[in-house]
Structure 1
Amino acid sequence: MDQSLMEHLSQLHEEDEHQEIVDLLLAISEEERDYEAVNRLGRAYNNLGLFEEALRELNKIADGGKEDPLWHFRVGFAYYHLRRYEEALQAFRDADRLEAEDPNTEMFLKWSLRKAEKQQKDEQRMAAKKAAASKSQESESKQVPFSGLSLADFWEDSEYARKSYQSDPPTDEVIASIEEELGYMLPSSYLALMKQQNGGIPKNTCFPTEEATSWAEDHIAISGILGVGREKSYSLCGDLGSRFMIEEWGYPDIGVVICDCPSAGHDVVMLDYRACGRDGEPEVIHVDQEDDYEITFLAENFEAFIMGLVSEEEFDTSAEDKEVDLYKVSHGKFSTLLEELCTRVSEVDQIEQKIRSICTRIVEEKGHFSFHADELSYLMYDVQFWLYTKSYPDTSREQYVADYEKMIAFGTGGEFRQGGYAPGWITDWLDKRMQEGRILQEKGRLLPAESFVAEVIRQLQEV
C-alpha cells in the first residue's frame, strides 16, 4: 500500500473517521488490496461496530496473519463483540503468544475468559432446564404465589410511581391483549402481583449478584416494575415499555423487559424465555447495554426474583461514590474534544474551572455526576453546545447528537466523564431550546441565537 495513503489512513483513524477509511479502501479493487490494506479495513469495520464485516475481511488474509499479533487481536475483538467468547479467547491467546504483555491484549484475554466461562455456565443451565421441561409434563404447583411475603408492605407509595407506573388492576381481557402484543405468556406470579398493584416502585430495589455488572460489583438495582397495560410510560406496552427497549435501544428479543433501572435505559431486567419457550416459565436476567448487552442470570422465576429483592441500604456506597465523583470533576482530565473546545474560548476567563465548579455543584446536589432535566444540567447542555458550535459552526443536528457523548458523557480520551447518558435528555433539551428560539436551524445547520450566547457567557462569568 502506498506510504502516503497509509499515513492518511492513520490520520483518519486518529480522528475516528472510520467510515471514510472503509470508503477509501473499498474504492481500491479487491485484487489490488494488499495485506496491510485488508488488515486496516478489518480494523475500521471493527471500529464501526460492523463485526461480521470485519471477520469477513480479516479471514481473507488469515494465512498472512498467522504470525501477526495485530491480526489476531482484531479477529479476537470482532469475536468478542459478537459474543463468540471461546473463539475470541483463542485469538487473544495467539496475540499474546506473539506479543506478550501487551496491556490491551491482556485486558481482552481476561474479559474473554470470564465471559466464556459465564456463557458456558449459562448454556449448561438452559440446556438442563430445556431437558427437564421436555421430560416433565406435570402441571404447575397450585401454591399461592408470594405466600411468604407481605404484599401490603411491598410497594413504595409516591406521586411519581402513581403517575409513571401504576395502572388499574388488569382484567383478563387486558392481560390477553398484552400477551398477544408481546408474543409471550406472562408468568402467573407476575400477574398475581400485578392484580394486587399493577406496576410501581418496590420498597426494596436491589438484587444480589455473584458477578459484577456495570451497576455494582455485587448487586443490581431497579427503578420500578412495569405493569400490565399501555397507558403508563413504564408499563409493558407503554411508550417506554418492553417493545420500546427492544426495538429502540437494541435489547435482545428474547423475552419481556419487566423492570427499568436507575441508569436511564443502560441496563434492564428481563423475563428470559429462551429455555422455556413463549408459553413457559421464564428465568429473570439482567441485561447490560453498557457491556454489549451482557446477560447475567438473576433468578429461576419471577417469584424468586421478587422474594430476593433487598433494601439498597445493604449496598449503600453513596458516600464513597460521591467522593469519587467530586474528585473526578475537580481533578479529572478533560476529554480530547472538550479540552480542544476550551482552548478556543476568549470570552470567559478560566473556562475549565467554571465548568468544574458547575459540575461540582451538580455532584453536591445529586450525590453523583449526571445530567438530567434540572436547571444546572440544562446550563451544562447549553455550555457544551456553545463551545461545540463556536468551533464547528457548520453543525447539523445529527452531527451534534452524535458528537455530544465525546465531551462529558463518555469523556473520550479523559477522566472527566459520566460513563453514560440517555440520548432522550439531549434531544428533549435541544427541542426545548429550538422552541424557545434560543437555538436556530438554518439550511440544516444549528446556530445559537446571539441572546443565547450572551446568556451562557453571563452565567459562566457569574460562576
Structure 2
Amino acid sequence: MAFEALLGRPLPADYREFLLKHNGGYPVVTLGEAQDGEEFMLGGFLQLDPDGMDEPYTMHLCTPARREADYGWGLPADALVFADDPGGNLFTLSLDDPHHTVRFIDHESDAPFETHQVLAQGFTAFLQLIRSVDSQAALDAAAQREERKMLTSGSFPVALDAQLQRAEAHLPEVREAVRRACLEVFDEKTHFALHDDPRSRHVFDVMLWLHETATGPGITRADMHEILKAWFRDARGGFGLNGYAPGFLDDWWAARFDEGALEGDVNGKGTFTPAARTALVATLRARSV
C-alpha cells in the first residue's frame, strides 16, 4: 500500500499478488518466447524493499520517476520496471494501460518507449511466456542430442579439416580420435566446451599436436588462442566447439611446461617434447579403436 501511494496508482491485481507471495526472485527456467516467437532471457524479478522503498538499487523496485531521474531511460510515469535480463535490459509493466502491457526495453536503443518490443498484455500473460521446467528440459535434451550427432558425424570446419588431412599421414585414425576426444568432453558436460579438467586438457593437447603436425613446431601461448578458433563450428550441423575459458587454456599451457610435456619458453615459444608427442599419438591411436 505504501508503494502504491508512492506510485500514485494501484498495481495490477495479479502483479500485486505475485509480490505478496514471492516478492521478486529468480525462476528456475529463465528463457521464454515472445508473441512473435523471438526468444528472451529473464535475469530476475525485482523485489520491494520496505527499508528502501524508492531506492533504485539493482534488484529493488522503485517508482518510474525515481528510476528515470537516476538513469534517464525515457520511461513514462506509469512504466514500472519489474524485472531485468542478464544484459542489463529491462522489462516494464504499464500501470495506466488497461491491458497492463509488458515491454522489453533494450538499453542500447534510444528509440521512443512505445516502439520497444511488446511481450505480453498483462503480467500473468508474461509469466505464461516463460517456459515450464518440463518444456525447457525437453528442448535441452533435443539440443544435446543434436550436438552429439554433430560431434559424431558433422563435417569438420574448413581450417580444422585441412589440419586433419595433413595429420592423416602420421595417424590414419586421426579423425575418429578427434571425435572420440571431443565426445568424451561432451558426455561429461552435456555440451562441448573446454575448461579446466583432464578431458578438456587432452583436447588442448590434440589441438597443439595437429597444428604442429600441419605447420611445424614452435608456437606461443597467444598463438594457441588463435589455433583454437579453427575448432569452432563454421557450418550448420557441422562439428564444432561451443566455447572455452581462455584462462584455463593459459593454465593448461603453464601446467604442460611444469609437467615436462612442453619444452622451450613458457613466456615465448613452446613445443611438445619427443616423448610427450609419442605418448599423445599412442593415446589417440588407442582411443580411436
| TM over 0.5, shorter chain | yes
User: Is contact 1:336-1:414 (8 Å) kept?
Assistant: no
**Residues 431 and 374 (structure 1), Cα distance of their counterparts in 2 relative to 1, 3 Å cut:** closer
SS at match of 2:284: helix
Confirm whether residue 141 of structure 1 aligns to residue 9 of structure 2: yes
Q: 2:131: which partner in 1?
A: 310
Confirm whether residue 433 of structure 1 aligns to residue 256 of structure 2: no
**Residues 443 and 355 (structure 1), Cα distance of their counterparts in 2 relative to 1, 3 Å cut:** closer
Structure 2 matches for 1:12-161, cutoff 5 A? 139=7, 141-143=9-11, 146-149=15-18
**Residues 284 and 417 (structure 1), Cα distance of their counterparts in 2 relative to 1, 3 Å cut:** same
Q: 1:387: which partner in 2?
A: 210
Count of residues in Structure 1 that have an aligned counterpart in Structure 2: 227
Q: Name the amino acid aligned to 2:11.
A: Q
Q: Please give the alpha-carbon distance, in whole angstroms, between the structure 2 residues aligned to 1:258 and 1:313.
A: 23
Deviations 1:136-185 (A, max 9, x none): xx955353994333787x6xxxxxxxxxxxxxxxxxxxxxxxxxxxxxxx
More helix by share: 1
The equivalent position to 1:332 in structure 2, one of 154, 157, 161, is 154
The equivalent position to 2:90 in structure 1, one of 237, 261, 271, is 271
Deviations 1:294-349 (A, max 9, x none): xx947489x78667533242242234323322332222221221112122325544
Residue 368 of structure 1 and its aligned partner are, at CA, apart by 3.9
**Residues 442 and 371 (structure 1), Cα distance of their counterparts in 2 relative to 1, 3 Å cut:** closer
Deviations 1:269-302 (A, max 9, x none): 62389xxxxxxxx953579xxxxxxxx947489x
Q: 2:181: which partner in 1?
A: 358
Q: Please give the alpha-carbon distance, in whole angstroms, between the structure 2 residues aligned to 1:414 and 1:395.
A: 31
Q: 1:410: which partner in 2?
A: 233
Residue 452 of structure 1 and its aligned partner are, at CA, apart by 4.6
Residue ranges of structure 2 left out of the alignment (5+ in a row) = 1-5, 48-56, 59-72, 75-82, 93-101, 108-115
Q: 1:322: which partner in 2?
A: 144
**Residues 306 and 397 (structure 1), Cα distance of their counterparts in 2 relative to 1, 3 Å cut:** farther
User: Is contact 1:208-1:220 (8 Å) kept?
Assistant: yes
Q: Name the amino acid aligned to 1:322.
A: Q
Deviations 1:372-416 (A, max 9, x none): 444323322221122123334353443432342222x23479921
Confirm whether residue 206 of structure 1 aligns to residue 26 of structure 2: no
More strand by share: 2
Q: 1:377: which partner in 2?
A: 200
Structure 2 matches for 1:178-217, cutoff 5 A? 193=24, 201-211=26-36
SS at match of 1:461: helix
SS at match of 1:447: strand
Q: Please give the alpha-carbon distance, in whole angstroms, between the structure 1 residues aligned to 2:184 and 2:266.
A: 37
User: Is contact 1:337-1:412 (8 Å) kept?
Assistant: no
Q: Please give the alpha-carbon distance, in whole angstroms, between the structure 2 residues aligned to 1:258 and 1:446.
A: 45
Q: 2:277: which partner in 1?
A: 453
Q: Name the amino acid aligned to 2:253.
A: R
SS at match of 1:202: coil
User: Is contact 1:330-1:360 (8 Å) kept?
Assistant: yes
Q: 2:225: which partner in 1?
A: 401
Q: Please give the alpha-carbon distance, in whole angstroms, between the structure 2 residues aligned to 1:307 and 1:400.
A: 45
User: Is contact 2:211-2:227 (8 Å) kept?
Assistant: no
Tell me the TM-score normalized by structure 1.
0.39
**Residues 395 and 272 (structure 1), Cα distance of their counterparts in 2 relative to 1, 3 Å cut:** farther
Q: 1:284: which partner in 2?
A: 104
Q: Please give the alpha-carbon distance, in whole angstroms, between the structure 2 residues aligned to 1:403 and 1:443.
A: 17
User: Is contact 1:336-1:412 (8 Å) kept?
Assistant: no
User: Is contact 2:89-2:106 (8 Å) kept?
Assistant: yes
Residue 362 of structure 1 and its aligned partner are, at CA, apart by 3.6
Q: 1:173: which partner in 2?
A: none
**Residues 225 and 453 (structure 1), Cα distance of their counterparts in 2 relative to 1, 3 Å cut:** farther
Q: Please give the alpha-carbon distance, in whole angstroms, between the structure 2 residues aligned to 1:373 and 1:225.
A: 29
Residue 210 of structure 1 and its aligned partner are, at CA, apart by 3.5
| Overall identity of the aligned pairs, in % | 15
